[in-house]
Chain A
Amino acid sequence: MNKQQSLFIDSLRQAETKEDAFKKLVKEYKERLYWHIRKLVLDHDDANDVVQNTFVKIHLNINKFKGNSTLYTWMYRIATNEALNFINSKASKIGLQNQEWIESKANVLTSDPYFDGDKASLLLQRSVARLPEKQRIVFNMKYFDNMKYEAIAEILETSVGALKASYHHAVKKIKTQLNE
């Protein structure tokens, strides 16, 4: 952890500077975390709920941040967990598997006022929704966000090799589905 980040984390922990530091944090990261979450939950209102809860969790747990990773990585991990918990909760409420719930969301994207992708984008989203959870996360982070494997590995706490394999499988499945 560099000195600048260390000072910023200190200001997030101290009562007198916490409020201002947290505002800076939200300003800096809200958009990046929102898009990461949005691609996992697909719907804007759901993404908004999850991004709000993510920042609540970050605020509540900032004292537990040990500095073993960058603040950005830690927040991305919380956002990913929040999105997955959200999907799990919504799916189980109506007796669906997580993947089935995501597929149902992808199938109604055409009527979503906040989705204006072309036919190719729609087909791609539907194919991504059919991937197993981990492959879907890896594909989103690699293909859409163009993140490095090393960064993804740190966030998901897995090896670069496993991620490469996941991405490779995901791409292969998507290609097969798009050619059907």
Chain B
Amino acid sequence: MNNFNTKNPFKVPENYFINLNKNILNNSEILLRNSGFRVPKNYFGMVQEEIISNVASNNDKWLLKKIIISLTGIAASLFLFFSIPYTKNTKPVIETQSLNDYLEAYYIEDLDGYEMISMLEDLDGYEILKLKDKP
């Protein structure tokens, strides 16, 4: 190290390189600590099986939801198609309203917002994250 100082006009504070070493090590530890977050004991060991079984049951659940939504859509279309030509103007409005109420009561209300968003994304193709460029 002394060889570097023969014609070097620059100086550093006393013990700078000893402290620098400590600082670098401390900073590395901070990065590795995940900033205080912890997980339950053996979480990553147990979550593997949980994810696999969850994926299997969700596949069935999502398939069922898709079928229900598709069938209710078809049923609503058929209902309107057959009922409109044979009824007076006011009646289909009431019946359509009651069909909507039925759909909301039995299907839509069971789903929370998170599930709805997830389901719509799945039906329409997964939309990737779109964030504005400006900070």
Residues of chain A touching chain B, judged by Cβ–Cβ distance below 8 Å, are 22-23, 26-27, 30-31, 34-35, 38-39, 42, 44, 48, 51-53, 55-57, 59-61, 64, 77-78, 80-81, 84-86, 88-90, 92-93, 109, 114-118, 121-122, 124-125, 132-135, 137, 144, 146, 155-159, 162, 165-166, 169-170
Contacts and interface: CB of A to CB of B under 8 A. Distances in A.
B128 A144 contact: no
B11 interface: no
B131 A60 contact: no
Given A135-B135, A165-B135, A144 B35 contact: yes
Nearest to B44: A31
A164 B118 CA distance: 31
Nearest to A42: B37
B35 A125 contact: yes
Contact of B135 (A84, A125, A169): A169
Interface of B: 31, 33-40, 44, 47-48, 50-52, 54-55, 58-59, 62, 112-114, 117-118, 122, 125-135
A165 B38 CA distance: 31
Contacts of B59: 56, 59-60
Given A78-B126, A89-B117, A156-B131, A115 B44 contact: no
B37 A114 contact: yes
Contact of A26 (B39, B48, B58, B118): B48
Nearest to B130: A157
B37 A53 contact: no
A57 B40 contact: no
A35 B36 CA distance: 12
Contact of B113 (A35, A93, A155): A93
B131 A144 contact: no
15 contacts: A26-B51, A27-B48, A31-B44, A39-B37, A42-B37, A53-B118, A55-B51, A64-B125, A89-B117, A93-B113, A117-B36, A121-B33, A125-B36, A156-B131, A162-B134
Contact of A115 (B38, B40, B125, B128): B38
Question: What 8 pairs between A and B have smallest CB-CB spacing?
Answer: A117-B36, A89-B114, A121-B36, A166-B135, A89-B113, A162-B133, A56-B58, A114-B38
Contacts of B133: 158-159, 162
